[in-house]
Amino acid sequence: MNLIQVLLFLGGVIIYRLLLDQKGKIWVILIACIFGIFWLQPASIIRNSDYWFPFLSISLIIITWLVITPKKNINTKENLISFLIILAISIFIPFSRYLPIEINVTATLPPQPLSVVIAVFILFIGSVLFYFLKQKNNVYLVHIILLFIITFFILLKSPFLNSKINILLKIISGQSIGTVQGTGSDLRWLGFSYIAFRLIHTLRDFQSKRYQATGLCNYFDYVIFFPALVAGPIDRIEHFENEIKKETNKTQDFIVGGKRLIFGLTKKFVIADMLALISLNSDNATLVKSTFWLWVMLIAYAWMIYFDFSGYTDIALGMSACLGIALPENFDQPYSAKNLTIFWNKWHMSLTQWFRSYFFNPLTRFLRSKEKPISPTLIIALTQISTMSLIGLWHGISWNYLYWGLWHGIGLFIHNRWAFFMQKFTKGIQLNNSLKKVISVFSVVFTFAFIALGWIWFIIPDLHTSIMTFMRLFGSH
């Protein structure tokens, strides 16, 4: 979201609270979210993809909701209204092509209304058929949807596959494929990562019978809640539902939300954008001549990414607070962490919590339940390294993100073993306060340095340049 988009959303939120306070909250959010998902989707050189990607998100959400919601809970007046609102807005948006280009909802000219009407009709018929054919046991369907989401995810995040899909989509839309490169940057599906996390969360909870059915409107609001669509945080549906139902004081909401927004806007648009000018990147990494300035640029990057990401989170939290909804915190002064384990409890907390719930814990349980016992040390190594590798690959399916994940996974494992060893070794030893403080400061600095060095994998796509950068940071030229 750029500054103008943030301010326009905020303006809408303020007007809504002043005029209606919290009346019809779920409906207002639903309408804002559907418009938002089309409006925020950036332009792409693939014709009309700025309409069809959001439409695919909408379709995926509806189908997932139909799968995980018991039949008796589907057939309600509220759900029917929600369904019709969603379809009506989806049909209405292409008609904005007849309005002046400045007020088009989508970034480029929307597709011909007829093609959208056909697509919406297919979605409608599909949903109705789905409803009538729905069985009690939807295990296979859950698996199919999970597979779909993960496949989409791989297609979008892998530069190679992305470029192939790019070509395919261009052929389908009758465009020239001559300019397609393997960068994958043409295929941008706004918010898909976060939509996928939320859908997987509800699907997995449904599988484990922890999911409490909710209405289509609430489900939509949860999955594409516009303040958190682009950069999270990833809430849990039951928490979100409680928040959306909560009656709150408008003044208090504006004060809390306003403060948070000011912090967020300053962090993102002042501090992070300024630090971005001097941060290490793949272009300047090879041009730096001095070790000292290379460290400065690396540290600038470390802080830039923190301010950028936590700034976006503050904006999301501030905007939703103005609506009377408290989203979960995502950052808690992560660079003050004394070790890597604490860092990952303070950095992108909702993501790590998600991976803990849906990958780390199930994998640990699985490995522990093996008939042939596996050593606890091996279990720790396997679970931590694989979890962090997956988190790395979530940023993009390429070697450098995998190296970044491995860096952290191995780091976490080493820290775990170190802590275990030190616990034994220092048992009964009393340290005085000064020494404790020195150790504490050293730990923070050491942890920060490890994290900052890890960003090199993240920034630089090729291994050779990454290794050269590491060497130059330690004085080799």
Residues that bind other proteins (CB under 8 A): 18, 249-251, 254-255, 274, 277-278, 283-284, 287-290, 293-294, 296-297, 300
Q: Which is nearer to other proteins, 274 or 463 (CB)?
A: 274
Q: Which is nearer to other proteins, 255 or 378 (CB)?
A: 255
* Minimum separation from the CB atom of position 307 to other proteins (A): 14
Instruction: State the DSSP string of 341-403.
Output: HHHHHHSSHHHHHHHIIIIIHHHHHHHHT-SS---HHHHHHHHHHHHHHHHHHHT-SSHHHHH
Q: Which is nearer to other proteins, 91 or 278 (CB)?
A: 278
* Minimum separation from the CB atom of position 254 to other proteins (A): 6
The residue type found at 135 is Q
- DSSP tag of 96: G
Q: Quote the Cα angle for 273-274-279, to 5°.
A: 90
The residue type found at 208 is S
* Minimum separation from the CB atom of position 172 to other proteins (A): 34
Give yes or no for a contact between 329 and 317, defined as CB atoms under 8 angstroms apart.
Answer: yes
Give yes or no for a contact between 305 and 242, defined as CB atoms under 8 angstroms apart.
Answer: no
Q: How far apart are CA 264 and CA 260, in angstroms?
A: 6
Q: Which is nearer to other proteins, 208 or 284 (CB)?
A: 284
Q: Which is nearer to other proteins, 18 or 435 (CB)?
A: 18
Q: Which is nearer to other proteins, 14 or 146 (CB)?
A: 14
* Minimum separation from the CB atom of position 251 to other proteins (A): 5
- Which residue, 156, 152, 131, is CA-closest to 141? 131
Q: Which is nearer to other proteins, 69 or 279 (CB)?
A: 279
Q: How far apart are CA 58 and CA 323, in angstroms?
A: 23
* Minimum separation from the CB atom of position 38 to other proteins (A): 30
Give yes or no for a contact between 66 and 228, defined as CB atoms under 8 angstroms apart.
Answer: no
Q: How far apart are CA 288 and CA 15, in angstroms?
A: 50
Give yes or no for a contact between 222 and 237, defined as CB atoms under 8 angstroms apart.
Answer: yes
Rg for the chain, CA atoms, rounded: 24
* Minimum separation from the CB atom of position 287 to other proteins (A): 4
Give yes or no for a contact between 111 and 55, defined as CB atoms under 8 angstroms apart.
Answer: no
* Minimum separation from the CB atom of position 182 to other proteins (A): 22
Q: Which is nearer to other proteins, 258 or 362 (CB)?
A: 258
* Minimum separation from the CB atom of position 455 to other proteins (A): 17
Q: Which is nearer to other proteins, 293 or 442 (CB)?
A: 293
Burial 37-46 (b: 16+ CB within 10 A, else e): bbbbbeebeb
* Minimum separation from the CB atom of position 310 to other proteins (A): 20
Distances, alpha carbon 68 to alpha carbons 26, 48, 141, 241, 459, in Å: 20, 31, 9, 16, 39
Q: Which is nearer to other proteins, 220 or 295 (CB)?
A: 295
Burial 95-127 (b: 16+ CB within 10 A, else e): ebbeeeeeebbbbbebbebeebeebbeebeeeb
* Minimum separation from the CB atom of position 291 to other proteins (A): 10
- DSSP tag of 190: T
* Minimum separation from the CB atom of position 298 to other proteins (A): 11
Per the listing, tokens 């995980």 go with 68
Q: Which is nearer to other proteins, 117 or 276 (CB)?
A: 276
